[in-house]
């Protein structure tokens, strides 16, 4: 596998970033990721099952997350899969957060955001 720089994967889609943030506290399963994203965004982002698993597939392929199987689960048993960030996934999430902070700082300097 070719090691890439975290910046090579930026920008992330908002949904991808929310999934990485939801995994920041540790390993969890798909349904818990959907609920965490909804909670973190105050209900502003609700991921459908299809959207979530499409994102998970992409994050796995890019090496940002890993999957594990619960006790006694067989490969292919979606009900017992859990996901966690890789070290590279943490790097990418941090790089995306920094990119968003920089973008927001630029926007806040514009007249639109100045208080009258």
Which sequence spans correspond to the domains of the chain?
12-113
**What's the mean per-residue pLDDT of the chain?**
91
Token couple for 40: 């973190």
CATH code at 12-113: 1.10.10.10
Q: What was the pLDDT predicted at 55?
A: 98
**pLDDT tens-digit map of 29-65:** 999 999 999 999 999 999 999 999 999 999 999 999 9
CB 15 within 8 A of CB 55: yes
**What is the distance between the alpha carbons of residues 63 and 56, in angstroms, rounded to a whole number?**
10
| pLDDT (tens digit per residue) in 96-112 | 999 999 999 999 999 98
**Tens digit of each residue's pLDDT (9 = 90 or more) over 25-39:** 999 999 999 999 999
Task: Kindly tell me if the per-residue pLDDT of 90 is higher than 70.
Answer: yes
**Residue 42 zone, left/alpha/beta (φ > 0; ψ -120 to 50; rest):** left
CA distance 29 to 110: 41
pLDDT tier, 113 (very low <50, low <70, confident <90, very high otherwise): confident
3-state DSSP call for residue 66?
strand
Question: pTM of the prediction?
Answer: 0.86
């Amino acid at each position: 596998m070719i090691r890439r720089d975290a910046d090579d994967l930026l920008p992330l889609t908002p949904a991808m970033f929310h999934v990485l943030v939801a995994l920041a506290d540790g390993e969890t399963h798909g349904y818990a990721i959907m609920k965490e994203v909804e909670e973190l965004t105050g209900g502003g982002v609700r991921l459908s099952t299809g959207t979530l698993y499409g994102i998970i597939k992409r994050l796995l392929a890019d090496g940002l997350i890993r999957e594990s199987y619960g006790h006694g689960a067989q490969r292919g048993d979606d009900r017992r899969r859990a996901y966690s960030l890789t070290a590279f996934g943490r790097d990418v999430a941090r790089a995306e957060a920094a990119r968003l902070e920089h973008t927001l700082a630029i926007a806040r300097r514009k007249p639109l955001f100045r208080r009258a």
